[in-house]
Amino acid sequence: RRIGLALAEQAWQLFTTLDAQLTDQVELTSAQRELDLLALSPQQRGGLCQRAIVGTATVGAAKNDEVFPISYLPPFQRGWPDDGDDDCHGEKRWMLSALQAWGLAPERYPHRLAISAFRINQLLVVGLPFEVTFEAGNRMAAAVQSTAEELRAGVEQVVISSHTNGFFGYSTTGEEYSAQWYEGGHTLYGPQTTPFLTRQAAALAGIMLQQPGYAELPSQWQFSLASAQYFPAPVPPQGQRVQLMPPHFVDAAANQELYWQWQLLDVNVSAIRLHEPLLAVEYSDDGKHFQPLRDAQNTVVDDQGLDLQIIHDGPSDAGMARYFLRWYNPQIAVPGRWFRFRVAAREGQQVFYSSAFR
């Protein structure tokens, strides 16, 4: 929490330095295009592989995410490229060899490519459903910038944004691809992926700068998605709120901040409504009259903030359940000051308080 607040403070200070550069005059334009990679002609693909294939290096995992021993065994080990002869996918070793292409049709892989472009004053953003590596992004941005300069569009900065409107794996440079680390193995459409995307990004940016609002999209989309219900089945609570254990202090330990903890019997998880405010901390300097506690930033200490946690400890009888309620980063003790937890009303249960503690 301490580190997070410090970072937030620095981020806010950095943000406020932009005050002199901001304007209420904003020019917004956009363009979108969807391509079915399986329907492109060889000329349109320009070297892009006709179908997607996952490489063995993907199983070896990314650097610092290795799994012993798989990540260290050829051919899953990174840096184990194929000779690339007579294969559009070049140095990529195919996972399961030809069985992958036999068992998984091209349509099973992502192939409807949505590309988007946005202009915000002098900033131009191109969104791609790929995880674009740093250098690949630089090359794409340079091509887009060149197009903008040819059109004298006044664009000062180009940003290539990854993971927009889908996920097609990685887009690497030719050099990165040839090494066949995780990123190269997960460049599904082969070593010409980045050159293809570079051409498409520059082309769409050019169209947008000349035809703002351009859209080349299907008349409709259809999706077949699996669904499941994860919310608990409604159970009417019939018991009463009970303090199971008075608040007690738990000191800091390795990888664990100190906190106060209270155990409570409350309505079951189907009725607790955690999306609504539930838990808060109050204080009193005389042990009788309590009021909401505020932190050093004058923010009320409740479950809308950073310091309170609610843990489900299992179901109980009569539609009730056990909970642990925790207060992290508690206020430093003040002589004569008492605290208590406050739990908001739920399902006919009145507001409930813990016993006072200090």
Domain of 144, in residue numbers: 25-216
Residue 190 domain-assigned? yes
Q: Is 187 exposed, middle or buried (0-12, 13-18, 19+ CB in 10 A)?
A: buried
Residue 15 domain-assigned? no
Residue 236 domain-assigned? no
For residue range 124-169, what is the model confidence (pLDDT) as tens digits? Answer: 999 999 999 999 999 999 999 999 999 999 999 999 999 999 999 9
134-150 helix and 193-210 helix, angle to the nearest 10 degrees: 30
- Residue 296: what pLDDT? 85
DSSP, collapsed to helix, strand or coil, labels residue 137 as helix
Q: What is the CATH number of the domain that holds 283?
A: 2.60.40
Same domain, 163 and 302: no
- Residue 5: what pLDDT? 84
Same domain, 305 and 346: yes
| Domain total in the chain | 2
CA-CA distance, 255 to 122, in Å (whole number)? 45
**Closest to 315 (Cα-Cα) out of 262, 250, 268:** 268
Residue 265 domain-assigned? yes
Give the whole-number percent of the chain exceeding pLDDT 70.
100
270 Rama sector, left if φ>0, alpha if ψ -120 to 50, beta otherwise: alpha
199, 216, 233 - which closes a domain? 216
Q: Which residues of 153-178 are buried (b: 16+ CB within 10 A; e: fewer)?
A: bebeebebebebeeebbbbbbbebbe
pTM to 2 decimals?
0.73
Same domain, 143 and 259: no
What single DSSP character describes residue 349? B
For residue range 235-268, what is the model confidence (pLDDT) as tens digits? Answer: 999 999 999 999 999 999 998 999 999 999 999 9
Which uninterrupted H or E stretch holds 247? Answer: strand 242-250
Residue 1 domain-assigned? no
Same domain, 124 and 246: no
Q: Is pLDDT of 84 > 80?
A: no
For residue range 19-59, what is the model confidence (pLDDT) as tens digits? Answer: 988 888 999 999 999 999 999 999 999 999 999 999 999 98
